[in-house]
Amino acid sequence: MTAQREPKRVTLLHIVTVADDNPVLRRKAPRVSRVDDSVRRLMDDMMETMVAAPGVGLAAPQVDVSLRVITVKVDNQLFHLANPEIIKAEGEQTGYEGCLSVPGMVGEVTRAEKVVCKALNRHGKQVRIKGAGLLARAIQHEIDHLDGILFTDRLTDPSTLRKVEEMGDEEIANVEGEAVTV
């Protein structure tokens, strides 16, 4: 008898970029009514797609699904969140940020340094996540996607929007955001 291995049912999804001219990136996404198997499947596929990209955050509209679902991976902590909401924000951080939907570009964005985020986890249970630094930045960036906002809407100055290929290695090392693994 041969042991049958269960195939891993994960699909890499297409990431919508601004070049696709898909209105999904600019739509306010509706809330998830219940975290059921289809939402869990979406979360798992998003996490796999994000890690493969590679990126530290992804929002459902970026894979052409208008729903309030995000995935984040920072410091090997994985978050699969539905209906995320920032309930507390403190301090300020200013730094370069990128986005998987705006490939090859980075720009300077000011975000809160620390946030507390309320959401439903992969099991539909209410959770609170406290994040600082990159985790806080990623959560704020992803929640923006759910409201149709891109980092390019939040630049400290339009002149900070730059092509990654025109930056030096040291500058690239200072970029924090979706498009960069840190």
Instruction: List the structure tokens of 43.
Output: 């979360």
Instruction: List the structure tokens of 141.
Output: 């960036």
Instruction: List the structure tokens of 84.
Output: 């995320």
Q: Smallest distance from the beta carbon of 104 to Ni ion, in angstroms? A: 13
Residue nearest to Ni ion (CB): 99
Candidates 63, 99, 117, 120; binder of Ni ion (CB under 5 A) is 99
Known catalytic residue at 142 = yes
Residue 178 touches Ni ion, criterion: CB under 5 A:
yes
Residue 43 touches Ni ion, criterion: CB under 5 A:
no
Residues 101-160 that bind Ni ion (CB under 5 A): none
Contacts with Ni ion, 52-91, as mask; x by CB under 5 A: ----------------------------------------
Query: For the sheet containing 114-120, what is the strand order?
Result: 57-59, 69-74, 77-90, 114-120, 126-132
How does DSSP assign 140-165, residue by residue?
A: HHHHHHHTT--GGGSBS-GGG-EEGG
- What are the CA-CA distances from residue 131 to residues 68, 86, 153 (Å)? 19, 11, 23
C-alpha R_g of the chain: 16
Q: Which is nearer to Ni ion, 35 or 99 (CB)?
A: 99
Piece of 5-13, 28-36, 160-168, 174-182 that binds Ni ion (CB under 5 A): 174-182
Which residues make up the interface to Ni ion (CB under 5 A)?
A: 99, 178
Active site residues: 142
